[in-house]
Amino acid sequence: MRLVIFDVDGTLVDSQGDIVASMTAAFAEVGLVTPARADILGIVGLSLDVAMARLAPEANTERMVRTYKDTYAHLRATKGAASSPLYPGARAALDHFAGRDDVLLGVATGKSKRGLDSLIAAHGLEGMFVTRQVADFHPSKPHPSMIHAALNETGIEAGDAVMVGDTRFDMEMATNAGVAAIGVAWGYHPRTELGAARQVIDGFAELPAAIDEVLEASA
């Protein structure tokens, strides 16, 4: 059996619009100028409290986190699945792996449990992921805790697992857990920051072959 663990924001779904809007509201709440879009996307993948502290180290980040969460929840409730649309090819790739009897699917995300559950419901992905690791119960990426928990829950060995993500935090988390990593080029960190990836793919159609190659090389 193999375990394929996906990051969410920037990997499976494009949520940058709502992320930037929510961060803008959070900074306005404490009277600060919103960082540049590139700086906001640069912290995607970190747990929200860690991300906020990096962007505004001297601010009342507790208040900012609360405003961010409230704004994001409102946008999600208003827009539904359009709040975080799946990237082209994402659903077909998930369906492909779900139809294989040698693959289990998981998620390791900086989202909260509430946020992930809502996203899964909005896209009709219930039952797709056998393990869901979220920020509520783990240290922020790149700490390997999420991947360790996913391996423990599924009984899969690290050599039979792969992490798929769009940020250097995902790549570093996988490395820290002793798991191979595959980077995606369409996400929020540039390809140049995905140095720990065994491969970087340009589309979901490349993922099955990339996983086979990476895991066979690790065997």
Cis-peptide into 88, omega within 30 deg: no
Q: What is the Cα–Cα distance from 25 to 79, expressed in whole angstroms?
A: 17
Give the tens place of pLDDT for each residue, 30-41: 999 999 999 999
Known active-site residue 9: yes
Q: Is the pLDDT of residue 133 over 80?
A: yes
Q: Is the pLDDT assigned to residue 219 strictly greater than 80? A: no
To the query of whether residue 212 is one of the catalytic residues in this protein, the response is no
| Catalytic entry in 9, 18, 166, 170 | 9
CB-facing half-sphere around the CA of 107: CA atoms within 13 A:
28
Which of 7, 14, 160, 166 does the annotation list as catalytic?
7
Three-class DSSP category at 199: strand
Instruction: Pick the range with the lowest mean pLDDT from 55-64, 99-108, 130-139.
Output: 55-64
Per the prediction, the chain carries an average pLDDT of 94
Percent of the chain beyond pLDDT 70? Answer: 99
Give the position of tokens 């790149």.
142
pLDDT bucket at 60, cuts 50 / 70 / 90: confident
pLDDT at 66 over 70: yes
Task: Note the pLDDT of residue 217.
Answer: 79
User: Which tokens is 98 given?
Assistant: 């779900």
